[in-house]
Amino acid sequence: MRRLVRGCLWLALLGLPLASAFGVERFPPPEFDAGYKMPVTTVPAARAQWLSYLDVAVLVAALALTSHLVLRKRSRDGVLAVSVFSLLYFGFYQQGCVCSIGSVQDITLALFNSGYVVPLTTVAFFLLPLVFTLFFGRTFCAAVCPMGAIQDLTLLKPVKVPAWLEHVLGVLPFVYLGAGILFAATGSAFIICEYDPFIALYRRTGSFGMLALGAAFLIAGIFIGRPYCRFLCPYGALLSLVSRYSKWGVTLSPTDCIHCQICDTACPYGAIADPTLKDPHPDPRKRKRRLIALAALVPLLVVLGGWLGGRLGVPFSRMHATVSLAEQVAAEDAGKVKELTDASKAFRQTGQPAEELYAEALRVRGRFVGGSVWFGAFVGLVFGVTLISVSEPRKQDIYDPHPGDCVSCGRCYVYCPKEIVRLKRIQSKNVIPLTPVRGEQKS
């Protein structure tokens, strides 16, 4: 079944670029005078309000079903089926919008711009996966997110990423999250949506660069489990933080782990935490000194990050339309640029004084510099906390998924010997599995 699903998926994906390149319009546009430019069509098109509510209902149903399949039924095949549905519905049918990943920017812009109103459906797509994660772990990542689904379904020959490289790359989602919040808060750009690697595939259109980027992620995803989810997804960074405090979550054999390490080898996402059979820092005095040194390093990294971020505020601000236009108009007035752009022509036709434009650009740049300081400080804090977490691994005496890294895909269920035996015993008795999950009391 899994090979058939993957085969059909790859045939569809390989045909998308060709369909985009050789597609024709159903209704050819009328002929206009030379020089007329057709307006840019909004993609995806606006949908009826009741369809937006239907999307939210489908999201809730998919989250609830996946949580049940992962934690109660413990069914990898069930998770796979929901993944296919999510890819078709939230990906190709809904064309990847509204998505929970991009909703971070809408929420941010609404918080910093009182004139921007967020639709309730967007708020729901932002909050619902977080709420489910708080109770059931990252079941949204397991099968509901179309980006995670497309990568999970195309994984064929997984290779293990070295632990040191995984820790380094694991910082990038938080950096991307901070950058997305910065540009959204200043009203400059929704970079998370602009550089979404799979949106061009879902919409079957887009620039060659974005199609190539999506194809590159999928090709890398044949060997590296969910490269976008693990090393770039900003919403995944939020879910990773929330899932560390979830009430329930994926576990294998909490009472009788035999330390066979099969699950650790089989997990393509590096989520199985190795047991700490011995204290890595047996000398308590050395351990205390190490922690003190790392704790003292964190404020220094925050200050250094804030300083570097402030230095980047000016170049970052050029992504804002007002700042870019002000620099263009100033260059034209100074004779440095002879050819006018469409934006500068439109501005000059308004008759607005250039001084007003420059003043507004300075205000925007000031907000950017201040925001960039906070962005840099946040990145410094992330680096500091990562150093401490690597130095002080979570203590446990069994092989079990790490709650922050586990995407609840259910792959480990298929390989754990104790789980296989337990499921066969349950099937023979025809009863519902009731294996304890993280957060429940052990008898």
Is the residue at 176 inside a domain? yes
Same domain assignment for residues 59 and 185: yes
Same domain assignment for residues 135 and 190: yes
Same domain assignment for residues 206 and 289: no
Q: What is the mean pLDDT of residues 361-386?
A: 94
Residues spanned by the domain of 200: 54-257+407-429
Same domain assignment for residues 176 and 223: yes
- Cα 48 off chain centre by: 27
Same domain assignment for residues 177 and 235: yes
Is the residue at 397 inside a domain? no
Is the residue at 116 inside a domain? yes
Instruction: Quick: pLDDT tens for 74-111.
Output: 899 999 999 999 999 999 998 888 899 999 999 999 99
Is the residue at 269 inside a domain? no
Is the residue at 273 inside a domain? no
For the chain, first and last CA: distance in Å?
37
Instruction: Quick: pLDDT tens for 19-63.
Output: 443 344 434 555 555 555 555 555 666 677 888 899 999 999 999
Query: What is the SS3 assignment for 361-380?
Result: HHHHHHHHHHHHHHHHHHHH
Same domain assignment for residues 151 and 201: yes
Same domain assignment for residues 328 and 364: yes
Instruction: Quick: pLDDT tens for 228-266.
Output: 999 999 999 999 999 999 999 888 766 677 778 788 888
Sign of CA dihedral 213, 219, 223, 226: positive
Is the residue at 100 inside a domain? yes
Instruction: Quick: pLDDT tens for 325-369.
Output: 999 999 998 888 888 899 999 998 998 999 999 999 999 999 999
Instruction: Give the C-alpha separation, 149 to 411, whole Å.
Output: 13
For the chain, how many structural domains are there in total? 2
With residues binned 3-state (H G I as helix, E B as strand, rest as coil), the percentages for the chain, rounded to 5, are 65, 0, 35
Is the residue at 208 inside a domain? yes
Same domain assignment for residues 123 and 196: yes
pLDDT of 372 reads 95
